[in-house]
Structure 1
Amino acid sequence: MKFAVTSRGDSNSNTLMQKIRTYLMDFGLTYDEDQPDIVVTVGGDGTLLYAFHRYRSRLDKTAFVGIHTGHLGFYADWVPEEIEKLVIAIAKTPYQVVEYPLLEVYIRYINGGRESRYLALNECTVKSVEGSLVMDLEIKGQLFETFRGDGLCISTPSGSTAYNKALGGAILHPSIEAIQVAEMASINNRVFRTVGSPLILPNHHTIVMKPVNDVDFHITIDHLTLLHKDVKSIQCRVAPEKVRFARFRPFPFWKRVRDSFISD
């Protein structure tokens, strides 16, 4: 089996990365950064997000497993003290593959003929370069509302515990194939109206955002912030691809939620 290891970059994570690499090679596994069957991330959820985007072209062939060297993560579930246990599991145990839905984002431009496609593991956010964001929102080809406010956040179920939660969105179990749209400080008065609640769209629904005035936007894809000019529309839906996680033991989602937000 071929593997790769990615580190957050701090000294502790780098030391653990070297140990994992040495141990797995001692077990006869092949280190291959270009075409790994499994990627071990050492750091936190941000490190796993980085690895996801690095290997997004081979999501059907690569599985991820994370070790957290800081706070408990939603993707990184192993701790440094368990490195030997994890190495033995990778080398000796057939792992279960758990798949989570992803967000597909298409950005189309006024000049036509070109478009940008992105995959997000957590979320995509859209904000105007200057002033309030004003967007027509179409669901399944029908105008739903004209949004006015600071911005919009479109998240995956696994990303629903991140920025989406801070915006008052619902927490969705990652087994649900859906995306969620949450508002950032919408403007609601006698003149302007939005639904004011998060929207959860199933995998056969598509949402398209069309600019009413501005055409330049700050758009984030997970940890990446991009400036897009002359935007005609932004289309979001559940992606045909999925992210694959290697599971060597149970990793209950609701326990992670409780440990992250409720437990002492």
Structure 2
Amino acid sequence: MRYYVLDRGDQLSVELSEKFHQLAAKQGLQLDAESPDIVVSIGGDGTMLHAFHTFIDRIPSISFVGVHTGHLGFFADWQANEIPELVDMITRHKDESLLKPRIVHYPLIELEIQKKSGTSSYICLNEFTLKGVDGTIVAQVDINDQMFEMFRGDGFCISTPSGSTAYNKSLGGAIIHPSIKALQISEIASINNRVFRTIGSSLVLPKHHHCDIYSRKEQNLLLTLDHINYPISDLISVRCQVAKQSVSFVRYRPFPFWNRVRNAFLG
């Protein structure tokens, strides 16, 4: 079993990372920064996003597991004091002849960003946001190649089901179970008058649908892919859809999604 650990960098997370390495070495686990089978994130949800994008080129062959040392570890199954138990679980399951852990697959968002300077593609674990830098943005929204609305406002948040509990939720979007292959479009402070009319509520698109956002004026924009920011001034369009690939999380013990939601928001 090849593994890699990525920690948040604070004292507790670094200490837990060192402890994990010590215990893993005793159990015969192999540290591999290039092609690990499992990536352990020690920190908060931001650390998991960092881990995801660090290994984004190897997503189909990697499983992730989170250890919570932050304020809100929605992706984390394990607490700081459970490192020995986690290493023991991984060790027990490294032999393929033994009972394998459960692997859950969460949908991702695939983006195709077309600019005057070229076209690029990205994958998001949580969400993609598009905002104006100098003021409100003006954009046309098409769904499945049909014009849907002309938008003016602060921007958009397009989230995965696993990201529906993050920025999307603060915008009044729905919480969606990550077993549902869908994406959610939420408006950020839309302006509604006789010129600009928007739906005013979040939209959920299934995996076989897509959404296009067209820039309709010269404007400085900020594209944020999870935690990564990209300023852009020559945007033509963004196409959003559920990605063909998914992200894998390894579950060594049950931790139902709705338990996570309850623990995170209700206590």
Q: CA deviation at 1:215?
A: 4.6
Report what 1:8 is aligned to: 8
2:125 is the counterpart of 1:98? no
Q: Which amino acid aligns with 1:66?
A: G
Number of residues paired by the alignment?
261
Deviations 1:4-50 (A, max 9, x none): 00110011100100110111121111100111000111111111110
Aligned to 1:109: 115
Q: TM-score, normalised by structure 2?
A: 0.95
The correspondence of residues 172-191 of structure 1 with structure 2, limited to 5 A, is 172-191=176-195
Shift of 1:71: 2.9
Contact 2:107 2:160 in 1 (8 A): yes
Q: Aligned-pair distance for 1:214?
A: 2.4
In the other structure, the counterpart of 1:262 is 266
Which runs of 4 or more aligned residues in structure 1 lie more than 3 Å from their structure 2 counterparts after TM superposition? Answer: none
Q: TM-score, normalised by structure 1?
A: 0.96
Counterpart CA distance in 2 for 1:215 and 1:239 is 28
1:196 pairs, out of 196, 200, 208, with 200
8 Å CA contact 1:215, 1:232 repeated in 2? no
1:141-194 deviation digits (Å, cap 9, x = unpaired) = 000000110010000000000000000000000000000000111001233210
Residue pair 1:110, 1:230 contacting (<8 A) in 2 also? yes
Q: Is the 8 A contact 2:137 2:219 kept in 1?
A: no
Question: Which segments of 5 or more consecutive residues in structure 1 lack a partner in the other structure?
Answer: none
SS in 1 for 2:110: strand
**In 1, Cα distance between equivalents of 2:163 and 2:183:** 9
The answer to whether the 8 Å contact 1:104/1:239 transfers is yes
Conserved? CA contact 2:218–2:233, under 8 Å: no
Matches within 5 A, 1:186-225: 186-225=190-229
Equivalent residue number for residue 36 of structure 1? 36
Match of 1:77 in 2: 77
- SS of the residue corresponding to residue 159 of structure 1 reads helix
State the match for 1:158 in structure 2: 162
What is the identity, as a one-letter code, of the residue corresponding to 1:73?
A: G
2:163 and 2:70 mapped to 1: Cα distance? 19
Residues 89 and 248, structure 1, Cα contact 8 Å, conserved in 2? yes
Select 1:127's aligned residue among 122, 127, 131: 131
Identical-pair percentage: 51
Corresponding residue of 1:233: 237
Measured in 2, the distance between the counterparts of 1:215 and 1:206 equals 24
Contact kept in structure 2, 1:128 and 1:214, CA below 8 Å: no
Greater CA drift, 212-221 or 174-183: 212-221
User: What per-residue deviation string (whole Å, max 9, x for no partner) do you get for residues 101-130 of structure 1?
Assistant: 00111111125xx31111110000001222
Q: Distance in 1 between matches of 2:9 and 2:188?
A: 32
5+ long unaligned stretches in structure 2: 94-99
Partner of residue 53, structure 1: 53
Structure 2: how far apart are the matches of 1:249 and 1:58?
A: 25
Cα shift at 1:95: 1.8
Report the Cα distance in structure 1 between the residues aligned to 2:24 and 2:204, rounded to whole angstroms: 42
Contact persistence 2:2–2:36 (CA under 8 A): yes
Give the alignment's Cα RMSD to 1 decimal. Answer: 1.0
* SS of the residue 1:174 aligns to: coil
Question: 1:195-241: CA deviations, max 9, x gaps?
Answer: 00100000000100001112531000001111123111111000111
